[in-house]
């Protein structure tokens, strides 16, 4: 029986689809391109800053990534509504089925938590807005360790918070690179793989189990 389960936030509990729509409003016809470039730069900057030991919080990384993406797309005018758009990650919708799955697991007596790159303040706002705060025991932001995923210190927050060894903790993410990082640390990983063609990066991590929000609770029960 599962004792504790931690969830990734951006792209997992929250779906990234809304990012394209928000970008489309700011930049008609190129919203999808801006959203994809923005997310790619956001992750790249977080990995670089972690390797460089030059942590700033994820809000700052996200803003810098937006500016980098806009620059790359070669826009001549400043992006309209840049300030509002930079908050788009915090306003993403819950993934369908996510709330039900977390609630079901918690009702089974499983300890639940979120383990995310998100800055503490943003995380609090998101959990209140989505009402996840009522069904999550732990809200773990990387601010506490001043490093981003996949630094092992981030995944260690789950063992510290739960008091359980890594191999008795489930970690659920839709991000393949996050699945690799958590698996390499020793957590039991479930990958909510959105695209059947997606592959885990070849970094020597164990192969994760694959589920959907609909099948997750049942899988973790057995
Ligand atoms: C998170 C991003 C990386 O940690 O998905 O929420």
CA gap 75, 68 in Å, rounded: 11
Nearest atom within ligand 1 for CA of residue 117: 4
Mean pLDDT, rounded, of the chain: 96
What was the pLDDT predicted at 174?
A: 98
* Backbone region of residue 128 per phi and psi (left: phi > 0; alpha: psi in -120 to 50; beta: other values): alpha
What was the pLDDT predicted at 190?
A: 98
Q: Quick one: average pLDDT of 159-187?
A: 98
> How far is ligand 1, taken at its centre, from the CA of residue 16, in Å?
11
What was the pLDDT predicted at 75?
A: 82
* Backbone region of residue 49 per phi and psi (left: phi > 0; alpha: psi in -120 to 50; beta: other values): alpha
SS3 207: coil
Contact 186, 215 (CB under 8 A): no
On the CB side of 131, CA atoms within 13 Å amount to 4
SS3 88: helix
What was the pLDDT predicted at 80?
A: 78
Q: Does position 131 have pLDDT exceeding 80, yes or no?
A: yes
Q: Quick one: average pLDDT of 144-155?
A: 98
CA gap 220, 170 in Å, rounded: 8
CA gap 28, 156 in Å, rounded: 42
How many residues are there in the chain?
222
CA gap 207, 211 in Å, rounded: 13
Q: Whose CA is nearest to atom 3 of ligand 1?
A: 117
Q: Which residues line ligand 1 (CB under 6 A)?
A: 8-11, 116-118, 149, 175, 178
CA gap 178, 59 in Å, rounded: 19
What was the pLDDT predicted at 146?
A: 98
What was the pLDDT predicted at 72?
A: 95
Write out pLDDT tens, residues 15-52: 999 999 999 998 999 999 999 999 999 999 999 999 99
Contact 172, 163 (CB under 8 A): no
Percent of the chain scored above 90 by pLDDT? 93
Write out pLDDT tens, residues 53-94: 999 999 999 999 999 999 999 987 777 788 899 999 999 999
- The residues carrying an active-site annotation are 8
Mutate to test the pocket of ligand 1, among 175, 185, 187 (most ligand atoms within 8 A of CB): 175
Q: Quick one: average pLDDT of 115-137?
A: 98
């Amino acid at each position: 029986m599962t004792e504790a389960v931690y969830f990734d936030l951006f792209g997992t509990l929250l779906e990234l689809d809304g990012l394209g729509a928000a970008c489309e409003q700011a930049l008609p016809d190129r919203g999808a391109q801006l959203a994809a470039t923005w997310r790619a730069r956001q992750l790249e900057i977080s990995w670089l800053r972690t390797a460089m030991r030059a942590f700033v919080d994820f809000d700052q990384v996200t803003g810098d990534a937006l500016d980098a993406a806009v620059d790359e797309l070669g826009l001549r005018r400043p992006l309209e509504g840049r300030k509002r758009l930079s908050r788009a990650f915090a306003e993403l919708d819950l993934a369908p089925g996510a709330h039900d799955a977390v609630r079901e697991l918690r009702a089974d007596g499983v300890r639940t938590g979120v383990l995310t790159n998100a800055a503490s303040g943003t995380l609090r706002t998101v959990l209140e807005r989505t009402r996840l705060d009522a069904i999550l025991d732990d809200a773990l932001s990387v601010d506490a360790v001043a490093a981003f995923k996949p630094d092992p210190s981030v995944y260690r927050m789950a063992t510290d918070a739960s008091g359980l060894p890594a191999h008795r903790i489930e970690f659920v993410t839709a991000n393949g690179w996050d699945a690799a990082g958590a698996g390499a640390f020793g957590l039991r990983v479930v990958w909510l793989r959105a695209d059947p063609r997606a592959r885990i990066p070849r970094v020597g991590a164990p192969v994760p189990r694959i589920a959907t929000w609909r099948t997750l609770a049942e899988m973790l029960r057995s």
